[in-house]
Amino acid sequence: MGLADLILKGTTSASDSDAPLFSFNQKRRDLVREVAARVYNTNLSKSRTNNSALEYVLNETAIQEIERLKSEQGLEEEVRDISWWRGMARRLGTMSEPEKRSILRELIDSYVDDTAGKFNPNVYSFASGALPIGFGLFFKTQDLNSLGDAFLHARSGLRDLRDLSERIVVEGHIDTMQHLVKKGTIVVVPTHSSNMDSILLGWALESVGLPPVTYGAGKNLFVNPLTRFFMYNLGAYKVDRRLRHQLYKDVLKNYSQVLSEWGFHSLFFPGGTRCRSNIVESKLKLGLLGTSVSAYTRNLQSGDDKRIYIVPATINYNLVLEAESLIREHLKREGKSRYFLENDEFDQLSIIAKFVLNTVGMRSTTVIRFGQPMDPFGNLVEADGESYDSNGRRIDPKTYVQSIKTGDFVEDEQRDRRYTRHTGARIAEAFKTNTVLQPSAIVAFSIFETLAARYPRTDVYELLRFATNERISFAELTPVLTRVLEKLRTLEADEKVRLSETASSITKLLDEGIESLTSFHIPQILVPQGTGLSVDRLDLLYFYGNRVRTFKIGNVVEKT
């Protein structure tokens, strides 16, 4: 019996659960049909006002796909290969209208079917229980042989792994969420630093008794048979970020909208991709967020007042698995943001193993914090499921999508874009106020600022290139750290940020910060040397310190 059989057979039946995702498989076919029909009809309606609309859509899609496939031949499955696109583009000029429609319909069907996931309660049950030791499931099978003694003999490490649940703190407005999942559909919108995020969040939700959510996962995570098995069966839907054409964007938006309309709790990262700089994200992509307004309106139009709740969340790591490649990418400033990083740490088993073993042995915790839920219009929502404005007045969210003139529930693209921008700004604020600053970030920031003050005429990029082998004494660092902490505590008192529990004492903060910054990364970011520290990785120091830099606390180094 293989692993898949074992898991699929399962021992725990969760089918009696009333969580919407548990009924996903029964509804999958209808869902795919509905999404495909909507995308097709939207494109068809364009062709009624513009005779060449279908040709334009197919041509634009073909051009973009041919260009992409010429330079990109990844491991991911393609919906259509390059020869199909070329053939279709060549024939397009002579195609009849019914033929164009037929090709468009088939193409949309393929994209939607490729996007839609599945949900298997047994896999969910297994994965939830196994996650504390389940990071291994994300290892590439071909890398298993390279595990070596470091992993197999690290018994203490494995023991620590089993205690992982104690090292992840899930906090915030959990009670409110527990009420809201019974009243409506929740859409979790977290910060994004690592490919581990969706896995950890899935576990976090389960650990506090919240139902599973469906989420968009990069198509690259479906390449590995093992990860594909779990992604497919845990309700993840496929997002191929290499595809830039409008037709695919329409598929994704409609898929996300129908999920919300049909009451499936979901999760997506409004930052779009992992944050390269480690600054708390403020520039959010609003496309998918906007689908919550459309979904709510459509439900109201069909007489269903089921609410949709947006839940901002922050994931606060002490160490980020992919820190090195993320900051490298950020510093390169390539201008165009590539989603796929070559040789990312997430693809390398040995690095994940090392990360897990090193970090579980540390005292620090990862904090997942859920902010106060809001409605699709950015108003805060309480546990009663009702929306309240900034002055605490209860408001009816239905009125936002009513026509001023007639009172009917109407979709209005311009209006909804305005609402979504507003909600996006509220989410960005919530990201900041729910950020829990970890010791690694505070210590890294303090050390970097101290070093930067030594070179007042040098900008960050020059500093990163030229300042090597710097040494900093504890006597020099402590006063800076004290000032940083004072400023952060003032912000915390104003509820503008949160500090890790360790920040209650400078000594604990420094110890834990140094412990983190001397673990995992090779070469080490810091190397303790007698009465001070040698700084070997200024770029990573900058990366971790950026979390604090988000809060613009001003000068913290006194001029001598």
Partner 1 sequence: MRIATIGSGERLNIVKSLMKQNKVEHLSLNLSKKGIKKSDELENCFLIFLAVAPEDVRECCRAIAPFVTGRHAIVHLVHALESQSQQTLSRVLENELSTQRFAFLSGPMCLNDVQSKLPSSAICATQFGEIHEIVAECLSSPTFRVYRSSDLVGAEIAAVYARVIAFCAGIAFELGESVKSMIVARGLSEASHLVSRLKGDLRTPFGLSGLANLHLALGDNPSLDTQLGTGLTHSNWKKTKATKTHFSSFQNLVLNLKVASENAGLSAPILTAANELVQKKMSAEEAMAALMSLPIQNDF
Nearer to partner 1, 86 or 496 (CB): 496
Q: How far apart are CA 233 and CA 220, in angstroms?
A: 16
Q: Toward partner 1, which CB reaches closer, 81 or 412?
A: 412
Question: In this chain, which of 419, 431, 445, 551 binds partner 1, going by CB under 8 A?
Answer: 419
Stretch that binds partner 1, among 158-166, 209-217, 342-350, 406-414 (CB under 8 A): 406-414
The piece of 128-136, 279-287, 358-366, 398-406 that touches partner 1 (CB under 8 A) is 398-406
Half-sphere exposure of 501 (CA within 13 A, CB side): 7
> Residue 542 CB: number of other CB atoms within 10 A?
24
Q: Does 414 sit near partner 1 (CB under 8 A)?
A: yes
Q: Which two tokens stand for residue 180?
A: 């809201």
Q: Does 336 bind partner 1 (CB under 8 A)?
A: no
Write out the two tokens for 329.
């990418």
302 binds partner 1 (CB under 8 A): no
Shortest Å, Cβ 297 to partner 1:
12
In contact, 368 and 313? CB cutoff 8 Å? yes
Query: Which member of 97, 106, 389, 462 binds partner 1 (CB under 8 A)?
Result: 389
Residues constituting the chain? 560
Nearer to partner 1, 293 or 321 (CB): 293
Please say which residue, 208 or 410, places its beta carbon nearer to partner 1: 410
415 near partner 1, rule: CB under 8 A: yes
First to last CA, the chain: 70
Smallest gap from Cβ 387 to partner 1, in A, equals 9
The yes or no reply on residue 390 touching partner 1 (CB under 8 A) is yes
Pick from 399, 504, 531, 555 the residue near partner 1 by CB under 8 A: 399
Neighbouring residues of 488: CB distance < 8 A, sequence distance ≥ 6: 437, 442, 497, 499, 503, 548, 551, 553
Q: Is 407 in the site for partner 1 (CB under 8 A)?
A: yes
Residue bearing tokens 């400033």: 333
Contact status: 552 vs partner 1 (CB under 8 A): no
Contact between 412 and partner 1 by CB under 8 A: the answer reads: yes
Q: Kindly tell me which of 286 and 535 has the beta carbon lying closer to partner 1.
A: 286
Residues 347/140, Cβ–Cβ less than 8 Å: yes
Edge-to-edge strand list for the sheet holding 214-218: 168-172, 366-370, 307-316, 184-190, 266-267, 214-218, 236-239
- Contacts of residue 228, defined as CB under 8 A and 6 or more positions apart, other chains included, come to 221, 222
- Site residues for partner 1, 363-382, by CB under 8 A, read 377, 379
Interface with partner 1 (CB under 8 A): 377, 379, 389-391, 393, 395-407, 412, 414-415, 418-419, 422
